[in-house]
Amino acid sequence: MPSNPHPSRKTVVIGVTGASGAVFARRMLQMLECDERVGRIHLIVSGAGLKVLREELDLDVSRSASIPSALAEGAAAKTEYLLDSDIGASIASGSYRVDGMVIIPCSTGCLAQVAHGISSTLIERAADVCLKEGRKLVLAVRDTPLSRVHLRNMLLAQEAGADIFPIMPAFYHRPQTIDDLVTQYCCRVLAHLDLEQNEQFRWKGERSTERMSGKQP
């Protein structure tokens, strides 16, 4: 698969690790596939991440080639799937241009590796490249409660240049479904990659909440 058939469009890397929250990875991939500003998506799933996709989404992960379309629940023409063991892939080099990376969900183990500059897998190496090249890196950390070690690693990663984006959905937009929660969270992540979405809810003060509930200001 060529690097990016549309050089004027963005190239984004998605890393999926073994933390719970596969629905967030699925929605992120779907939104990037639908975004005309995105020309190429590189998808990497860790071994533990594959297990989570299988257990939480009932995905058949036995064939690598089918994972993007299975995760996107449809065509995934922009997406190249890369093995986490493929440390020699294009995105492992800073000379290969990407516009940003999001690890979603990001396990605390992956957080620790990134925070300390350890690159034993492609996800970790791609994240390290983003940091050293000054590119956007969003870590959608998903775990609770958080230990002192987790908190220190978040600080280290943030100081290195990553955006720490814990999976903490908002509720002020009055979500009716789980998908509402997931979509709004992903909208906020994409905004950090300079890919703002039309469906993103933005707080405009108490009056907007009153209108949403049918009350008059």
pLDDT at 29 over 70: yes
CB 82 within 8 A of CB 176: no
Residue 102: inside a domain, yes or no? yes
Question: Considering the entire predicted model, what is its pTM?
Answer: 0.90
Q: Angle 113-182-196 (CA atoms, 0-180°, nearest 5)?
A: 85
- CATH number for the domain that contains residue 55: 3.40.50.1950
The pLDDT of residue 175: 86
Residue at token pair 């990497």: 44
Residue 3: inside a domain, yes or no? no
Residue 37: inside a domain, yes or no? yes
pLDDT at 2 over 70: no
The pLDDT of residue 170: 84
Residue 78: inside a domain, yes or no? yes
Mean pLDDT of 70-80: 96
19-28, 78-87, 152-161, 192-201: least confidently modelled range: 192-201
Residue 205: inside a domain, yes or no? yes
> How many domains does the structure of the chain reveal?
1
Q: Which strands make up the sheet holding 163-164, listed edge to edge?
A: 79-83, 38-45, 10-16, 100-106, 136-141, 163-164
Residue 167: inside a domain, yes or no? yes
d(CA 83, CA 187): 27
Tokens standing for residue 211: 């209108």
Residue 20: inside a domain, yes or no? yes
Domain extent, residue 152, equals: 10-212
pLDDT at 199 over 50: yes
Residue 155: inside a domain, yes or no? yes
Q: CA separation (Å) from 40 to 10, 45, 121, 134, 178?
A: 7, 17, 21, 20, 28
Name the residue among 75, 64, 65, 67 with its Cα closest to residue 25.
67
